[in-house]
């Protein structure tokens, strides 16, 4: 069977002999493949590649060893060349605009990031086997987790932090079920351990000492079940690591700049920045001459935005925009 295109989500799309559309992960447009584990639904099917009879010219060797060896579910397109990835993403967005948005538009142009690797400022890892395995879920097998060594799309500073944490995993909470690594907008590193139950993280200080000795100091956060995040080591007044920020900071800045450019001039106007996060857009609106009403549901983000300033020209509200 020949793969015809890439669908939203990254699966290759082909057609079975009975006419049903079939979705096949880790394939490229133009691949000629044989299939295995074909699962039939009423109007479509899903399958896996058994053999690549004729590879697409778009196919490359994935850079990350986890992608093939561990069937990492974090990335879907590493087997495609960068131009093929960009073309696939253009098509995905165009199809969404036409199918969901009911717009008669061509596929949009791609605003390409400066770097294809080492950009992501947040990584969330699942934990299983009492901490003996910490990493990502396998592609198509949500119940299976492989032990992560290094993620190539993550900020290298996060992976340096992870290297040390991985070596000292015995110092993580006994009941940890999820770990989030994050680098904030000012370069600070954070590790958040989400746990089952309410058992206190007693070894947090020891882990922090180990991180400092390795040159990767980080603020350590403990999140009990149904409880609020608490900083337990690393800083007396830490940056709130659980507030929302774009995981690709450089592209987030470019999106904000583009959106504001579409507004034209707003000097002398009152601008409402809804879902404002830590206030980057509010500051840009203020710089353009607007008086800003900044609204954010997360009170911790509002506190951080206030800390960053400025004090004049922006009135900050902690609450739901809908209310």
Question: Could you read off the pLDDT of 44-81 as tens digits, one per residue?
Answer: 999 999 999 999 999 999 999 999 999 999 999 999 99
Mean pLDDT (whole number) for 109-126: 92
Rounded distance, CA 134 to CA 122, Å? Answer: 15
Mean pLDDT (whole number) for 132-153: 93
Residue 26 DSSP code: T
pLDDT of residue 311: 86
For the structural domain made of 249-318, what CATH number should be given?
3.40.50.150
Pick from 51-65, 146-160, 235-249: least confident: 235-249
Rounded distance, CA 50 to CA 100, Å? Answer: 33
Domain ranges of the chain: 5-99, 122-233, 249-318
Rounded distance, CA 54 to CA 45, Å? Answer: 22
Identify the band that residue 30 occupies on the pLDDT scale cut at 50, 70 and 90.
Answer: very high
In 49-177, which residue ranges form alpha helices assigned H by DSSP? 65-69, 82-99, 156-167
Rg of the chain on CA atoms, in Å: 23
For domain 5-99, the CATH superfamily is: Nucleic acid-binding proteins (2.40.50.140)
Q: Using alpha carbons only, give the angle 227, 232, 234 rounded to the nearest 5 degrees.
A: 140
Which residues partner with 195 through β-bridges?
176
Mean pLDDT (whole number) for 207-223: 96
Which residues partner with 145 through β-bridges?
137
* Domain 122-233 classification at class level: mainly beta
Rounded distance, CA 302 to CA 282, Å? Answer: 12
Pick from 208-222, 228-242, 304-318: least confident: 228-242
- On the question of a common fold for 5-99 and 122-233, the answer reads yes
Mean pLDDT (whole number) for 138-165: 94
Mean pLDDT (whole number) for 269-296: 94
Rounded distance, CA 224 to CA 176, Å? Answer: 9
pLDDT of residue 156: 97
Higher pLDDT, 185 or 287: 287
pLDDT of residue 239: 65
Taking 90 as the threshold, does the pLDDT of residue 300 lie above it? no
Nearest to 121 by CA among 251, 235, 231, 209: 251
């Amino acid at each position: 069977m020949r793969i015809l295109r890439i669908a939203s989500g990254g699966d290759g799309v082909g057609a079975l002999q009975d006419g049903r559309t079939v979705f096949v992960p880790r394939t490229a447009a133009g691949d000629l493949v044989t299939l295995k584990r074909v699962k039939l639904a009423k109007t479509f099917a899903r399958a896996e590649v058994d053999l690549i009879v004729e590879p697409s010219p778009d196919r490359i060797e994935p850079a990350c060893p986890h992608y093939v060896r561990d069937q990492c579910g974090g990335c879907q397109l590493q087997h495609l060349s960068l131009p093929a990835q960009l073309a696939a993403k253009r098509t995905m967005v165009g199809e969404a605009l036409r199918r969901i948005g009911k717009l008669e538009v061509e596929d949009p142009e791609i605003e390409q990031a400066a770097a294809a690797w080492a950009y992501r400022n947040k990584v969330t890892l699942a934990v299983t086997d009492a901490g003996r395995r910490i990493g990502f879920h396998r592609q198509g097998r949500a119940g299976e987790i492989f032990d992560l060594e290094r993620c190539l799309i993550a900020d290298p500073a996060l992976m340096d932090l992870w290297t040390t944490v991985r070596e000292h995993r015995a110092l993580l909470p006994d009941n940890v079920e999820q770990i989030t690594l994050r680098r904030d907008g000012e370069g600070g590193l954070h590790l958040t351990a989400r746990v089952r139950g309410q058992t206190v993280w007693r070894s947090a200080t020891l882990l922090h000492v180990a991180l400092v000795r390795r040159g990767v100091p980080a603020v350590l956060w403990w999140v009990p079940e149904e409880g609020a995040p608490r900083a337990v080591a690393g800083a007396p007044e830490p940056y709130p690591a659980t507030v929302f920020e774009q995981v690709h900071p450089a592209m987030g800045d470019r999106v904000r700049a583009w959106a504001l450019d579409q507004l034209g001039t707003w000097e002398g106007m009152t601008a409402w920045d809804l879902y404002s996060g830590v206030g980057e857009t509010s500051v840009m609106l203020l710089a353009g001459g607007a008086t800003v009403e900044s609204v954010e549901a997360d009170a911790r983000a509002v506190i951080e935005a206030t800390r960053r300033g400025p004090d004049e020209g922006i009135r900050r509200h902690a609450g739901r925009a809908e209310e």
